[in-house]
Chain A
Amino acid sequence: MSLEVLAFGYGLVSAAIIALAAVGFSFQFGISKIFNVSYGAMMSVSAFVAYYVDIILRTSLWLGLVAGGISGAVLGLASERLLFSPFQRRRPAIAAVIILSLALDFFTQNAINAIAGPGFFSYRLPPETVFRFVGTAWTPLELVFVGLAVFAMVSVHLLLTQTRFGTAMRATAADRALASSCGINVRRSTSLAWAMSGLLAGLSGVVLAADSGAFSFVSGDTFFLVVFAAAVVGGLGHTYGAMIGALVVGIVTEEVAVFSPSLKYVSAFGVLIVLLIISPGGILQIAGKVRSDVISE
C-alpha cells in the first residue's frame, strides 16, 4: 500500500475538517468584510466545551459535538453583536479591526489557558477497526467526520439557496446598502451569518480535536492559519471556493507529510503565499470566475 495513496485518504479527512471551518470563515468574511483572527479561538473553545460535556459531565462525544457547535454559534453571535459590528460602525481603519480581532483571539485563548491550563487533553475514543479501501485506510469515526462535513456543506448550500434567510444573507454580502434598501434586515442577516459561521467553527473545532488525538488551548489558532489558507486559496467569501481550497490544502498537507512531517503546515502556507502572489482572489479568480468578494455559490 503506497504511502501517497494512504496520505490521499488522510487528506480527504483533513479536507473535510478544514472545509467545515473554511466555509464558515469565508462566509463571515463575505458578509462583514473583516479578517476575524479570533475564529481560531472559537475552535479552541468548542473543543474544550466538548471536552467538558464529554469527559467532565460524562456524557458522550456526540453530545459534546453538539455543545461545541452551540458554543461556537453563541461566540460568533456574541462577538459580532457586542464587538465587531459596533466597532465597524465607527469606521475604523482596516488595521484596527484586525488588531482588535487579534486582541480578542489572545484574550479568548488565554481564558481557556487560565481555566483549563496549558496541557494537552483528549477525548476518550474507543479503539477502532480500520477499513481498507483502494489503498486508503479509514476508521468509522473518520467516516463519520467526513459524512458530517458533507452534511454540513449540503445544509449550508440549501440554507443559502432555498431559504429566505439564506437569500437575505447573500444579498447582504453582495451589496449591503442595496439589500437594506430592498427591505432586508441587514443587521439580522449579519448576526445570523456569524451565528452560522460560529456553528461551523464550533463543529470543526471538536472534530479537529477528536481527529488530532490531543489538543490544547492553542490548537484552534494553529489550525486557523491552515483554514485561512484554504479560504484564501478558494477565494475569500466564496463558499464553493472554500470547499475547493480545503480539498487542495488538505491533500497537499498530507502528501507533504509523507516526505517530511514537520513541513506539513509550512507547505499549506507556501501554497497560500504562492497563490497570493499570483492572484489575491484565489483559485476562483484564476479560473476567471470572480472579481469581487461575495458570498456566492
Chain B
Amino acid sequence: MSVAWQFYAITLLVYFGVNLMAGWAINFQYGVAGILNFGFIIFQSIGAYVASVTTLGASQPGGYQQYILGATLPWPLSIVAAGIAGGLLAIVVGSFALRPIGRAFQGIVLLIVAVIASDLVSTEFGWFDGTNGLAAIPKPLQGALGLGLVSYGWFYVGLTAVFCVVTYFVIRRCSTGPYGRKLRALRENARSASALGVNVRKETMVVFVVGGVIAAISGAVLVQFLGAWAPSTWMPSETFLYIAAIVVGGVDNMAGVALGVAILYTGILEGVQYFPSIGVGNLVGAVQWMAIGILVALFLWFRPQGMVPQRRRRLSTRVRTVRGSRANVVGVRERDDKNVLT
C-alpha cells in the first residue's frame, strides 16, 4: 500500500474512532436519556483546547499564539485534564440548561450556549488564540517512540482504538441493567419516573457530565492527531452531524451509531471526494450538507428509529403460554420498535 494511501487510511480511521466516541456519547445523552444536546460540540472542543494548552507549555507573551492555562504535562495527563474540563463545563452548563423547561427549550438553549462559546473564543480575549486557534500541538509520545511518520500514524490508530474500546465499555455498562433502565424511564416519562423515586435533575446531570467527559476526551484524541484546532473546526452546526449520524444509524443502539457514523462521515463526507468536481469549489460542500439534510428528513419521516433500532430487552424467564398459533407469537415480535420515534 502506498504511503499516500496509508496516510489516508490512517486519517480515516482516526476520524472514525473519534466520531465513534463522540457519537456514543451524544447517543448516551439523547438516545438513552433523552437529553437534546444541540451544544454538544463545545464539549468535544474544550477537551481539544485543554489537551492542547496543557502540552504546548506556558504561553509566551508576544509569542505567535496566546492562550490560558499553559503547561507541559506528560501525555496521559493532558487527556485527563481534557476529560476533567469536559466534566466541569458540563456541570456549569447543566446547572442552568438542564432545568425543567422542556426538552425542546433545553435543546435550543444548549445550541445558543454553543454559539456563545464560539463567539467568545473567537474574540480577541486570547483564551485560546481567537480565530487563529492553536497550532503545533505536539503529538503524544512521538519523541519517546521514535517511529517514522507512517508507523506513528498506525500507532495512533491503535491508540484511538484503545480509547474507543474503553468508551464502549463505559457506555455499555451504563446503558444496560438497572441504570440503563432507569435512564430510559427518565427519557420516556420523566414525571412518572420522578413519582417512582428517580431524582430527575440529578440523573440528568450525571448523564450530561459523563457525555461531556467522553466528548472532551474524543476532542483531545483528535486534536493531538491533527496538531491544530480553531473555532472553524467546531462550528455549532457540527453537532447536527452527530445527530444525523444517530438518527440515520440508530437511536439508542451502539451498533446503529457506529453504522451512522460510518455512513455519514466516511460515506458522505469522504466519499464526495470521488465525485467529479462540478462548479465552484464550495459547491461540493454545500451539496453534502443538502444531502445530509434530506437524508435526516427522510429518516425522521419514514424510519425515525434509525437503521438499527433500539433492541428490545427480553427479560422474561418463564415459559409463555402460546396464545393460539405460532403466527400469533411471530406477530407480536413484528411490532418490534416500529413506534420508536426519536
Give residues in A with beta carbon < 8 Å to B: 35, 37, 83, 87, 92-100, 102-107, 109-111, 113-114, 117-118, 225, 228-229, 260, 262-263, 265-266, 269-270, 272-273, 276-277, 280
Contact = CB atoms under 8 A, between A and B. Distances in A.
Contacts of A107: 289-290, 293-294, 297
B301 interface: yes
B342 A276 contact: no
B108 A228 contact: yes
B240 A106 contact: yes
Contacts of B244: 103
Contact of B119 (A98, A105, A262): A262
Interface residues of B, number: 50
Contacts of B103: 94-95
Interface in B98-128: 99, 101-105, 107-109, 111-113, 115-116, 119-120, 122-124
Given A272-B109, A273-B96, 9 more contacts: A83-B297, A104-B293, A104-B297, A106-B290, A113-B282, A114-B283, A114-B290, A277-B96, A280-B102
A280 B103 CA distance: 12
B300 interface: yes
Interface string B262-301: 0000000000000000011011011111101110110011
A277 B101 CA distance: 9
Contacts of A105: 293
Interface in B209-245: 237, 240, 243-244
**Interface SS, A side:** helix
Most buried by B among A103, A229, A265: A103
A95 B30 contact: yes
Contacts of B296: 99-100, 102-103
A260 B123 CA distance: 10
Nearest to B241: A106
A280 B342 contact: no
Contacts of B123: 260, 262-263
Contact of A225 (B115, B280, B285, B304): B115
B289 A106 contact: yes
A276 B97 CA distance: 9
Contacts of B105: 276, 280
Contacts of B282: 113, 117-118
A100 B297 contact: yes
B290 A269 contact: no
B36 A95 contact: yes
A110 B104 contact: no
A247 B111 CA distance: 23
A227 to B, nearest CB: 12
**Interface SS, B side:** helix
10 contacts: A37-B108, A93-B341, A94-B103, A96-B300, A102-B243, A102-B296, A104-B297, A106-B237, A113-B285, A265-B119
A266 B125 CA distance: 14
Contacts of A97: 104
B209 to A, nearest CB: 19
A35 B101 contact: no
Most buried by A among B30, B34, B296: B296
A274 to B, nearest CB: 9
A103 B297 contact: yes
A111 B294 CA distance: 12
B280 A117 contact: yes
B82 interface: no
A98 B104 contact: yes
Contacts of B119: 262-263, 265-266
Contacts of A273: 96-97, 109, 112-113
A225 B112 contact: yes
B188 to A, nearest CB: 10
Contacts of A270: 116
Nearest to A222: B115
Contacts of A228: 108, 112
A103 B108 contact: no
Given A106-B289, A106-B292, A111-B286, A98 B101 contact: no
Interface in B144-201: none
A118 B283 CA distance: 9
Nearest to A93: B341
